[in-house]
Amino acid sequence: MIIESIITTLNADGTAHIAPMGVTWRDGTPILAPFRPSTTLENLMRTGRAAINHTDDVRIFAGSLTGRANWPVRPAHKIEGAVLEAAISHEELIVDRVEQDELRPRFFCRIVHRATHAPFAGFNRAQAAVIEAAILVSRLHMLARDKIEREIAYLQIAVDKTAGPREREAWDWLVERIAAFHAGSDGRAAS
Ligand SMILES: Cc1cc2nc3c(=O)[nH]c(=O)nc-3n(C[C@H](O)[C@H](O)[C@H](O)COP(=O)(O)O)c2cc1C
């Protein structure tokens, strides 16, 4: 099973790096699979530490992909690392083993601490729609424009029907990003 999460790692200067990633859970073992090149990959290789953050603030998923990466964090409990203030729960990890791969190495991790900070508030379709749109934004350079437009039009229905202010804000950031990308002179230049 894959759980869409926010991974926090530490940069060489001690600041936190925040990135949305799908974590594969296999028999209780979390597996992180960052593509090359990525800051998360470099940080994992250097520190062997990360935290998995579970949050319903989907602005963090959308924001991390649209240049809004400064989300509040606090120190982790058992590792040298950072945890999102907005985490409903989190796990702190030590990398046990790395399966090397030219495209996408896989980090098999051990949980050394886990904590719950707030109750699960329930499912919201707009949150799911924002996560789907964030995935589209992370693949803009690989996907055809008409596929993106069709999927956004469908996801928009859930946003219109069920979003709160945070979901609407996150959605607007993503839609702006897609428009800027397609307005770029060669279709990929805008940021
Ligand atoms: C829901 C979601 C899941 C993602 N999962 C992954 C993943 O498993 N591996 C990956 O390399 N990028 C994934 N991405 C894209 C990264 O978040 C994005 O490329 C980010 O910039 C990571 O690179 P960085 O560590 O250099 O910031 C995902 C994006 C979203 C929105």
What is the best residue among 40, 66, 151, 173 to mutate for testing ligand 1's pocket, by most ligand atoms within 8 Å of CB? 40
Peptide bond into 37 cis (omega under 30): yes
What integer pLDDT is reported at residue 184 of this predicted model? 83
Task: Name the 3-class secondary structure at 191.
Answer: coil
In angstroms, what is the span from residue 19 Cα to ligand 1's centroid?
Answer: 6
The response to whether residue 73 sits with its C-beta less than 6 Å from ligand 1 reads no
Residue 174 in contact with residue 65, Cβ under 8 Å? Answer: yes
Query: What's the pLDDT tens digit per position in 44-54?
Result: 999 999 999 99
Task: Report residue 53: phi and psi, to 5°.
Answer: -110, 135
Residues in a beta bridge with 23? 3
In angstroms, what is the span from residue 52 Cα to ligand 1's centroid?
Answer: 13
* Cα–Cα distance, 100 to 36 (Å, whole number): 11
Query: What's the pLDDT tens digit per position in 58-88?
Result: 999 999 999 998 999 999 999 999 999 999 9
In the structure encoding, which two tokens stand for residue 46, read together?
A: 């250097």
Residue 188 has pLDDT above 60, yes or no: no
Residue 187 has pLDDT above 90, yes or no: no
Q: Print burial letters for 141-180: b (CB count within 10 Å at least 16), e (below 16).
A: eeeeeeebeebbeebbebbeeebeebbebbbebbbebbee
Closest Cα to residue 16, out of 66, 111, 80?
A: 80
Residue 107 has pLDDT above 70, yes or no: yes
Average pLDDT, integer, range 112-134: 97
Q: In sequence order, what are the residues at sequence separation of 6 or more whose Cβ sits closer than 8 angstroms to the Cβ of residue 30?
A: 23, 24, 52, 91, 93, 109, 111
Closest ligand 1 atom to Cα of 4? 1
The response to whether residue 40 sits with its C-beta less than 6 Å from ligand 1 reads yes
